[in-house]
Amino acid sequence: MKLKNIIKVGVATIVAVTGFSSCSDFLTIYPTDKTIGEDFWKSKEDVQEMVAGAYSSMCSYDCQTRAIIWGAFRSDELVKYSNYNDAGLDNINVVNLLPTNGYNNWAAFYSVINRCNIVLNHAPHVMEIDPVFTGGDYQITRAQMLALRSLCYFYLVRTFRDVPYTTQSYEDDDQFMTIPQTCPDSVLQFCIRDLEEAEQGIMKSGSYSDWRDKGYFTRDAVNALLADIYLWRGSMTKSQSDYQKCIEYADKVINAKDAYFKATNSEFSSGSGEIDPYHLYKGEEAMYQIFTIGNSRESILEWQYDGTNNSNTGLENMYYESGNSDNHATTSVLMASQIFNYFADNSNTIQGQKVFTTTHDLRYWNSTYGVNNNEATELSVRKMVNNSFSTVSTNSTVGEPKSNSRGFDYFAQNWIVYRLTDVMLMKAEALVQTAASDSDKVVLNQAYDIVNVINQRSLNEGKRDADTLHIDNYPNKETMELLVLAERERELCYEGKRWFDLVRFCYRHMDGVDIKKKMADQTSWPALYKPMIRLITRKYLSGGEAVSAKMKTEPYLYWPILESEIRVNKNLQQNPVYELDKTTSKN
């Protein structure tokens, strides 16, 4: 079966690809066209179409919504719109993660993985048929697919922990995949191995002259993913070598960005100009360049939507409007948590610690609609929703109200996978963990300096020389760790990062974690870190205690396997604390 997948090329091109239905269970997906090996894979163009199709499948509604639900909704950032009817989201919100919940479905990510495996399986033979498809072309193609596959597996490990791992492609109706899960230590090591190979063969950032420089994996994107994986594994195992690797790969990205900026800006060719390795946008320009225009110089990897050939309906429904073009509501499925509604002294009127510390932080006004309003009952996400940037005065008493002026159809809004400040904060997080002790001020100050650069650039012009964070407030590893965590929330809110940030934070303070064993093979599991649970539950104006009581041990950090997958594949083992139609722990 040949489907049409769309991916942006300035003006998007349509590519014919062999694909699977993203709504089907992964283990019951079968291609219905057995001629792919006979009638396809004849030319370089065939390979390019299949590569484009793999990237296009990452832009699917299912992948986009799960990036938000898995990475943001489970955290303290988002709540469901009160009048939106969705029992699945209601259950997630109160930690009733049932095996029947459709948001558990991992099929969309495994579909991308299978597309990558298909390309990796067939591309070598094209070199024998089409002399235009050279060894160098194959090397780049292989690197692309290894990287994209690794990203998908990384999403799955962070969401389910123990997941089936395969490099085999499934292309025939007679093929039936029934493989067991693999522990995270093995899956992450496979990803690291593939990414290290990909780093050697992939294009450098700036090598593409079009959207692919941000829409395809480049060396910077590979290194950003490696930094992320090492940071995740280091947090699970408390491995100093993993933290050092995170710093190493983060520095590769930072240095490459610096070198490319200087090489492409003539004022730096003589060595003059600002002495700044980051070259971040300042203040109002940052929100405009990064989230309105997209594919900015700070960007590393973005899923591409042009609004004509493909539309980011997943993000649109979650954050902007829910429905369809003929009959749609004026509200989104998800709303911003009230923790974003307050700053400074009055922040303590809501459970937990404040997010923003000053009204001079432009992210406070521009990430969320209607902030600083004690009477607001529900807030809407503004970041990635506003299609034209408008200045919000930091002297305002109430933030800009939500506008539904953006057209529902043709929702051209990229989804940012990695950008520079994300990588900078990965490095800061790892630096804190490598500090030998609270007295290791050299390392701790390096982490603070990174955070401060990002915080300063986000302030209203005229306030950037003020020491708004005050380094004396972060005298040890514990407080510096919390500072980095808080800055990541200020900088990356609603971008699908927060839940994973909180899980890393939790792991670093847990004892007895064994990533070489599957959860189902263990007889007991380490207890969760209570301060992390308190951060999660601060979004609840009431009922936070009941939710907190349900979050007990490591398996509660992860989703259950979809029940229909368990029925099909008897080799799968369910997350041990979830049973069908039950919400309590087995233990």
The pLDDT profile of the chain, 587 residues, written as one tens digit per residue, is 222 222 232 223 323 333 333 333 333 333 434 345 567 899 999 999 999 999 999 999 999 999 999 999 999 999 999 989 999 999 998 888 999 999 999 999 999 999 999 999 999 999 999 999 999 999 999 999 999 999 999 999 999 999 999 999 988 766 666 899 999 999 999 999 999 999 999 999 999 999 999 999 999 999 999 999 999 999 999 999 999 999 999 999 999 999 999 999 877 655 555 678 999 999 888 988 999 888 999 999 999 999 888 999 999 999 998 865 454 556 899 999 999 987 654 444 434 567 888 888 999 999 999 998 888 889 999 999 987 665 555 556 788 888 777 877 888 999 999 999 999 999 999 999 999 999 999 999 999 999 999 999 999 887 787 768 889 999 999 999 999 999 999 999 999 999 999 999 999 999 999 999 999 999 999 999 999 999 998 888 777 788 888 899 999 999 999 999 999 899 999 999 986 545 444 44
Please answer whether residues 501 and 535 qualify as being in contact, where contact means their C-beta atoms are separated by less than 8 angstroms.
Answer: no
Please answer whether residues 74 and 104 qualify as being in contact, where contact means their C-beta atoms are separated by less than 8 angstroms.
Answer: no
| 3-class state of residue 281 by DSSP | coil
d(CA 248, CA 95) in angstroms, rounded, equals: 37
Locus of tokens 């521009």: 366
Instruction: Quote the pLDDT of residue 398.
Output: 81
d(CA 508, CA 65) in angstroms, rounded, equals: 28
Domains in the chain with CATH codes: 1-202+512-587 (1.25.40.390), 213-299+419-508 (1.25.40.900), 313-354+364-411 (no CATH)
Give 86: exposed, middle or buried? Use CB within 10 Å, 0-12, 13-18, 19+: middle
**Degrees to nearest 5, angle at CA 482 with 81 and 361:** 65
CB-based contacts of 120, cutoff 8 Å, min separation 6: 142, 145, 146, 167, 169
**How far is C-alpha 411 from the chain's CA centre?**
20
Structure tokens at 27: 């283990």
DSSP 293: I
Structure tokens at 572: 């799968």
Q: Quick count: other Cβ atoms within 10 Å of Cβ 23?
A: 14
d(CA 314, CA 319) in angstroms, rounded, equals: 9
Please answer whether residues 59 and 304 qualify as being in contact, where contact means their C-beta atoms are separated by less than 8 angstroms.
Answer: yes
DSSP 264: T
| 3-class state of residue 351 by DSSP | coil
First to last CA, the chain: 46
| 3-class state of residue 418 by DSSP | strand
Q: Minimal CA–CA distance to 156: which of 147, 168, 164?
A: 164
Instruction: Quote the pLDDT of residue 302.
Output: 98
d(CA 104, CA 69) in angstroms, rounded, equals: 10
Structure tokens at 504: 């890393």
pTM, rounded to two decimals: 0.91
**Degrees to nearest 5, angle at CA 495 with 324 and 562:** 70
Locus of tokens 């700053």: 343
